Amino acid sequence: MTIWGKRPSLILLLGCVWLAACASQPIRPDDLQPPTFVPQPQSEPVPTVVQSLTPLPTQSPLPSLQAPTPTAILSTATALPPTPTLDPYADLTIDALSARSYGVGALDIIDTLEENETFTRYLITYPSDGLTVYGFMNVPNEGDEFPVALVLHGYIDPAEYDTLAYTQRYADALAEAGYFVIHPNFRNYPPSDEGPNPYRIGYAIDVLNLIAIIREQSQDPFGYLRRADEDRIHLWGHSMGGGVTLRVITVNNAPYLRAAVLYGAMSGDERKNYEQIQIWSEGENGPFELAAGNEKLAAISPINFLDRINTPISIHHSEADGTVPIAWSNDLCERLRALNKPVECYTYYATPHTFRGEADALFIERVTRFFNEN
């Protein structure tokens, strides 16, 4: 019994076969004409359908005219090979960041912001992974082959950010001390372009790209960085910028990174950081970062790769810091000392997260001395 409930006639069967055979062929004008019937010779009678047909096999080679049931569709879909899921954390590990390349393009001067007796301040841009990053640059007026200082700011609401932020006073002090100072805004800080930044790794990439550009562009005798000494690069990072600095010197342990200052810095342990960031942001920031498993978080966190660091470090933190726990800096100091890494650690009192007054003046003095010694 067929799906119509009765035995098909010869004409119907031949029609089905003709349709199956022609389904894959393009339609020509002649195909639209009715087929010509050629009578068979009488001496060779055509056997009847009943006599010539054999029972159909259980699995017919012809496609079924019946629509597949929902169950059949489901089983077919289930049988397809699964689509591979990309690991969203794979490119964020310390190993991955260490293996990739940096520094395509050149730093450009957009405008002159200020000139004084000691240095000239410029508005700059440079490329970072296809993004345009803004910042400012303080260049001493007299001399050549200046050591470089990269000044990395802490967290500021991007809606309230100004390129000449609170870190300007530290950049100016270093320029007056004879340093070629570059202060990048970072991605996502206007007028820089917006880009991905999980674990604030985008900021570290912006700095790593800037370092590579300095190394390359300083070789151009007519370029904007020709007076910078590419073999003497120093890093200074406050709060969020301190965490960025720690990641940078963990990823890049080249000898031309001469010294790093961590000022009220975030932790090298990303779980600690993002548990705190979730509190600060009332749960808005951090779900993706904390969703990584323990093994992946360990591979992303610089705290587990301190043995790779070759850059001397100076750590500064206030006991009265109500933003970033001083315990994070104390822990880092102990870990670095246990590894026999070159590190000095200072505790300040009665001054907030961003130092003020005498504590700030002492901090600037210590930073300048530390950079000069290295």
Q: Which CATH architecture has domain 105-373?
A: 3-Layer(aba) Sandwich (3.40)
Contact call for residues 339 and 311 (beta carbons, < 8 A):
no
pLDDT digits (tens, 9 = 90+) for 119-138: 999 999 999 999 999 999 99
Is pLDDT of 13 > 80? no
Q: Which two tokens stand for residue 184?
A: 């990048």
Q: Which residue has the tokens 């260490």?
A: 98
pLDDT at 2 over 50: no
Q: Is the pLDDT of residue 32 over 70?
A: no
Residue 204's Cβ-side half-sphere holds a number of Cα atoms within 13 Å equal to 27
pLDDT at 61: 38
d(C-alpha 138, C-alpha 271), whole Å = 36
Q: How confident is the model at residue 49 (pLDDT cuts 50, 70, 90)?
A: very low
Write down the residue that tokens 């790779």 correspond to.
308
CA-to-CA separations, 278 to 130, 198, 269, 284, in angstroms, rounded: 29, 14, 15, 7
For the chain, the structural domain boundaries read: 10-78, 105-373
Kind and range of the H or E run holding 203? helix 201-217
**Model confidence pLDDT, tens digit, residues 262-310:** 999 999 999 999 999 999 999 999 999 999 999 999 999 999 999 999 9
Residue 85 binned pLDDT confidence (cut-offs 50, 70, 90): low
- State residue 83's pLDDT score: 57
Count of other CB atoms within 10 angstroms of residue 177: 18
Cis upstream peptide for 57 (omega within 30°): no
Choice among 64-78, 141-155, 243-257, 344-358 with the minimum mean pLDDT: 64-78
What one-character DSSP code corresponds to residue 105? Answer: S
Of 208-217, 231-240, 253-262, 279-288, the poorest mean pLDDT is in 279-288
d(CA 242, CA 246): 6
Residue 279 parent element (H or E): helix 270-280
Residue 71 in tokens: 């169950």
Give every CB contact of residue 318 below 8 A, 6+ residues apart in sequence: 264, 326, 347, 348, 349, 351, 352, 353, 355, 359
pLDDT at 74: 37
CA distances from 19 to 1, 49, 325, 339 (A): 21, 19, 79, 80
- The pair of structure tokens assigned to 48 is 């009847």
